[in-house]
């Protein structure tokens, strides 16, 4: 009997152990299932990006008081639904951003993602490299759209590669950009009244501008016409000098050149002095500010300015814009025409449009979210506005822009409805063909006017990247050098004497460290060209 009881107890104990064991296996299986679900929260391909809603904090900057109206863009709102990634937007004005930026960088407490190349500059990123994630591997693993952009646009990869060979930001390629930056713009009404043709050469331009000065073309009986009022380096375009990135560098026969010490520059300044001596150039050219220049170009009493360089006349001359027309680049003494610009589109390819910060706990989610911006359809909706609001998708699979609301300019509407120039974008050559813009206004007009100079676009000195040390040296050198170059240019245009003072001018620039500055620029250019 005792044996039977003992055996029953043993059987019960064994059953308990088995039950416990079975229960343990079941718990382990449940745990594994939960774990699998947690791992499956992030999807490396397809949508949604995460199964369980995630949140990213995103900082961007805007001009003036534009605010965050772009976040109501239907594409942006649909993106949250499609990806299951909620965005906590932080929108700052560029008016006081410099101070706020310094505080933010010093604290190191950054949002997950930064948008817009105006938000953090090259030097901000390089000088605080530990705050930002190198994105090369993220792009390869999780960003097929951006990887395609890098493969199809070698210039984008060159633009994005930092001096250490890594990418710390994502770039952009804007749609429908003109190849030529500015066009020569002249008062057509004045030409017609005086029986003159649009000038094509320097001599013709001189004669036309002299007639503008002396023959009262605006017909108000006053000698208030100003043929040229504002200085722009584009006045030297006929001499082969173009400066897209405004750093006094250009590419000549494949090599970087500092043009303020070139013979082309010298000849160009002498020509401008001839115009000044004849009263063609505004006596206040070098003492007025932008407000004064605008007041002359848009004087409500009469059209007063005859010639300038501009994107479009309507953005420059206000009420009088209908009197002006863009013309082809003026031929230089060598019989050639030169236009500042970029065959890829002016300022179309840029870096630092998106960054993932080191504090982001889910960089793979951020990378996949950003990659959604790099399709053609996403890009146009983040440059102009959403389909159904700003953009119409036509039955033939093309896209056209709708007219802005009454009393609103097209450009203001685009900025209100989208990220516009800021943020990640990519337009392939094939997708570009699907975009139908009106050639009469806005971006379409810029592209149309650009055709006047497209055949003459020079190769620009690229927007190269500098090391920490180079970034520290450049301001020290350019502060004195640029100031001196500007002072001497103004003196030579208004008073003459460039031949007599040229050698001393070049010598002083060299004493200021010009050779060091040119070496820095040239070294950066060589690094840029070597990127594959």
Give residue 19's pLDDT band: very low, low, confident or very high (50, 70, 90).
very low
Give residue 34's pLDDT band: very low, low, confident or very high (50, 70, 90).
very low
Cis geometry, peptide bond prior to residue 48 (ω within 30 degrees of 0)? yes
Give residue 143's pLDDT band: very low, low, confident or very high (50, 70, 90).
very high
- pLDDT per residue as tens digits for the range 72-127: 999 999 999 999 999 999 999 999 999 999 999 999 999 999 999 999 999 999 99
Where are the alpha helices (H) located in 108-233, listed in sequence order?
A: 122-127, 136-142, 144-152, 154-160, 188-193, 202-214
Give the chain's mean pLDDT. 92
CA distance 118 to 352: 8
pLDDT for the residue 212: 98
**How far is CA 119 from each of CA 65, 105, 154, 445, 447, rounded to the nearest angstrom?**
15, 11, 24, 29, 28
pLDDT for the residue 37: 40
Give residue 155's pLDDT band: very low, low, confident or very high (50, 70, 90).
very high
CA distance 238 to 240: 5
First-residue to last-residue Cα distance in the chain: 89
Answer for the pair 243, 233: CB distance below 8 angstroms, yes or no: yes
- pLDDT per residue as tens digits for the range 175-200: 999 999 999 999 999 999 999 999 99
Classify strands 183-187 and 324-326 as parallel, antiparallel or unpaired.
antiparallel
Give residue 296's pLDDT band: very low, low, confident or very high (50, 70, 90).
very high
Q: For residue 178, count CB atoms less than 10 angstroms from its CB and return exposed for 0-12, middle for 13-18, buried for 19 or more.
A: buried
> Does the structure show a pLDDT above 50 at 133?
yes
State the pTM of this model: 0.87
pLDDT for the residue 13: 37
pLDDT for the residue 314: 86
pLDDT for the residue 39: 47
What number of other Cβ atoms are within 10 A of residue 347's Cβ? 18
Q: Is 179 helix (H, G, I), strand (E, B) or coil?
A: coil
Give residue 410's pLDDT band: very low, low, confident or very high (50, 70, 90).
confident
Mean pLDDT across 499-518: 98
- pLDDT per residue as tens digits for the range 232-269: 999 999 999 999 999 999 999 999 999 999 999 999 99
pLDDT for the residue 411: 86
Length in residues, the chain: 532
CA distance 374 to 145: 5
User: How much of the chain, in percent, has pLDDT values that exceed 70?
Assistant: 92
- DSSP letter for 383, please: T
CA distance 496 to 276: 10
pLDDT for the residue 453: 98
In terms of phi and psi (left: phi > 0; alpha: psi -120 to 50; beta: otherwise), the region of 306 is alpha
């Amino acid at each position: 009997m005792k044996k039977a009881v003992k055996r029953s107890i043993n059987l019960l104990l064994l059953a308990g152990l088995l039950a416990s064991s079975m229960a343990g296996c079941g718990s382990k299986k449940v745990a594994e299932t939960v774990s699998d679900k947690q791992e499956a929260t992030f999807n490396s391909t397809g949508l949604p990006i995460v199964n369980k809603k995630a949140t990213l904090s995103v900082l961007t900057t805007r001009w003036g008081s534009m605010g965050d109206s772009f976040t109501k863009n239907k594409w942006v709102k649909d993106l949250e639904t499609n990806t299951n990634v909620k965005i906590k937007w932080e929108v700052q004005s560029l008016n006081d951003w410099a101070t706020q930026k310094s505080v933010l960088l010093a604290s190191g407490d950054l949002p997950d993602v930064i948008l817009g190349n105006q938000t953090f500059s090259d030097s901000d990123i390089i000088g605080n490299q530990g705050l930002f994630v190198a994105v090369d591997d993220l792009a390869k693993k999780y960003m097929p759209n951006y990887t395609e952009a890098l493969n199809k646009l070698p210039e984008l990869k060159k633009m994005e590669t930092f001096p250490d060979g890594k990418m710390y930001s994502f770039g952009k390629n804007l749609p429908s950009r003109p190849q030529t930056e500015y066009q020569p713009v002249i008062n057509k009404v004045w030409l017609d009244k005086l029986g003159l043709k649009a000038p094509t050469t320097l001599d013709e331009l001189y004669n036309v501008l002299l007639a503008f000065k002396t023959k009262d073309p605006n017909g108000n009986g006053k000698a208030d016409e100003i043929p040229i009022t504002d200085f722009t380096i584009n006045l030297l375009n006929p001499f082969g000098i173009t400066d897209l990135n405004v750093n006094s560098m250009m590419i000549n026969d494949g090599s970087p050149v500092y043009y303020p010490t070139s013979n082309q520059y010298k000849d160009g300044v002498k020509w401008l002095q001839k115009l000044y001596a004849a009263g063609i150039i505004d006596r206040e050219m070098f003492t007025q500010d932008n407000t004064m220049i605008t007041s002359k170009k848009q004087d409500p009493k009469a059209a007063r300015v005859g010639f300038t360089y501009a994107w479009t006349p309507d953005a420059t001359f206000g009420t009088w814009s209908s009197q002006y027309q863009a013309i082809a680049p003026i031929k230089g003494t060598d019989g050639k025409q030169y236009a500042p610009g970029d065959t890829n589109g002016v300022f179309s390819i840029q870096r630092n449009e998106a960054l993932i910060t080191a504090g982001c706990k889910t960089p793979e989610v951020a990378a996949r979210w950003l990659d959604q911006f790099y399709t053609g359809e996403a890009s146009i909706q983040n440059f102009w506005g959403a389909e159904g609001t700003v953009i119409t998708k036509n039955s033939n699979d093309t896209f056209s822009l709708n007219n802005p609301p009454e009393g609103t300019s097209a450009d203001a509407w685009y900025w209100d409805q989208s990220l516009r120039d800021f943020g990640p974008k990519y337009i392939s050559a094939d997708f570009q063909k699907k975009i139908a813009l009106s050639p009469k206004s806005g971006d379409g007009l810029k592209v149309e006017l650009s055709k006047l100079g497209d055949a003459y676009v020079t190769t620009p000195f690229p927007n190269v990247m500098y090391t920490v040390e180079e970034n520290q040296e450049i301001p020290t050198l350019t502060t004195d050098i640029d100031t001196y170059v500007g002072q001497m240019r103004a003196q030579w245009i208004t008073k003459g004497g460039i031949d007599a003072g040229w050698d001393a001018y070049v010598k002083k620039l060299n004493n200021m460290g010009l050779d060091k500055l040119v070496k820095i620029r040239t070294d950066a250019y060589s690094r840029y060209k070597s990127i594959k």
